[in-house]
Amino acid sequence: DVKVTQSSRYLVKRTGEKVFLECVQDMDHENMFWYRQDPGLGLRLIYFSYDVKMKEKGDIPEGYSVSREKKERFSLILESASTNQTSMYLCASSVAEYEQYFGPGTRLTVT
Amino acid sequence: GQNIDQPTEMTATEGAIVQINCTYQTSGFNGLFWYQQHAGEAPTFLSYNVLDGLEEKGRFSSFLSRSKGYSYLLLKELQMKDSASYLCAVHPSNYQLIWGAGTKLIIKP
């Protein structure tokens, strides 16, 4: 059964902290994605990766970085968390251009 | 620019039929996805249309017209558990998807 897991369901951090969100998939998918989802807005792509050590900026990469050292693992890093980064963060993976499978999401609150 | 439009919210009655529309304007087109997302949960895949026409999958069907930049998701025999947001997403030209804001569907008894 397809599975994408994320390190935390809920996270509370203070302004200025460095935040790590980790995503792991067990489907041997080449592509992995990080999105954020806010009320009234569609899913917005932060970064994606189509191979190990490869990354591409999405629509809103400012304030974020990513790391993909192993095929199954894709990490999102907030270098210095700010209150406007309070959001739901969703990780997804896919094979080529086919459907994306999502993790359960991490609801991050920055105070 | 690239744009996907869906109604923000729809209400329907248990047992009835509802059609959720999606119109898109994108720089390219390789396919259109529909996802379901229950409140507080991750989106789950419903359907994928590449060619024009209707794809049926149980109570759910999805239609695509590429010339009109238009798709709809048809839900039949509505059940309370169908209360969710329905997301339309277009695959324009690479591995990325362009997402609509989603349609919140409320089912009333």
Task: Tell me the pLDDT tens digit for each residue of B61-101.
Answer: 999 999 999 999 999 999 999 999 999 999 987 778 899 99
Contacts A–B by Cβ distance under 8 A: 46
Enumerate the residues of chain A whose CB falls inside 8 A of the CB of residue B95.
Answer: 31, 48, 50, 94, 96-97
Task: Tell me the pLDDT tens digit for each residue of A29-54.
Answer: 999 999 999 988 889 999 999 999 99
Q: Which of A100, A101, A106, A107 to mutate to test the interface with B (most CBs of B within 10 A)?
A: A100
The secondary structure of residue A96, as a DSSP letter, is: T
Average pLDDT over residues B48-63: 96
Spatial distance between the Cα atoms of A55 and A57, rounded to a whole number of angstroms: 7
* Beta strands in B1-109, from DSSP E residues, in sequence order: 3-5, 9-13, 18-25, 31-37, 44-49, 53-57, 60-65, 70-75, 84-91, 98-99, 103-108
Comparing alpha-carbon positions, the chain B residue that sits nearest to A39 is B101
Position A2 scores a pLDDT of: 67
- Report the share of chain A in percent with pLDDT over 90: 86
Q: State how far the alpha carbon of B43 is from the alpha carbons of A45, B54, B60, B87, in Å.
A: 14, 22, 16, 8
Q: Which two tokens stand for residue B51?
A: 């060619």
